């Protein structure tokens, strides 16, 4: 594990509030994960009906990847009943898409 993953990851909200991911509500973690996902993947893979924000699409891919990893690691430490079943279904979908895109990128290099 490198030094960036050992430190507590801090999320900055759209209102400018800084929150350690360990202090975020589980549903907030989920919605942040989904927002970053939708700003990362091709439109055909995005989860429809999600609000678009200015900025995240401009973040470097490595920054978005680190953010998503921090959110997923924290979500794994939360009680499973903190999220509704449809949210877990979307997390599985996001993981499947990211795996497929990563494999495609490796195959093309």
9-18 tens-digit pLDDT? 888 888 889 9
* Predicted local distance difference test score (pLDDT) of residue 3: 41
Would you state the torsion angle of the CA atoms of residues 38, 42, 46, 52, taken in this order, to the nearest 10 degrees?
Answer: 40
29-57 tens-digit pLDDT? 999 999 999 998 999 999 998 888 877 88
Distance from the first to the final alpha carbon of the chain = 25
Question: Phi then psi for 42, rounded to 5 degrees?
Answer: -60, 155
52-71 tens-digit pLDDT? 887 788 888 888 888 888 88
Residue 2 has pLDDT above 50, yes or no: no
Which parts of the chain are beta strand (E)?
10-12, 18-20
Burial class (CB in 10 A: 0-12, 13-18, 19+), 64: middle
């Amino acid at each position: 594990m490198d030094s960036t993953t050992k430190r507590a990851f801090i999320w900055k909200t759209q209102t400018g509030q800084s929150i350690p991911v360990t202090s975020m509500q589980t549903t907030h973690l989920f919605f942040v994960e989904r927002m970053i996902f939708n700003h990362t993947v091709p439109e055909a893979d995005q989860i429809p009906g999600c609000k678009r924000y200015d900025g995240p699409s401009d973040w470097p891919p490595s920054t978005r990847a680190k953010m998503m990893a921090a959110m997923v690691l924290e979500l794994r430490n939360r009680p499973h009943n903190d999220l509704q079943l449809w949210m877990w279904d979307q997390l599985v979908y996001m993981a499947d898409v990211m795996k497929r895109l990563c494999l495609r990128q490796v195959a093309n290099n």
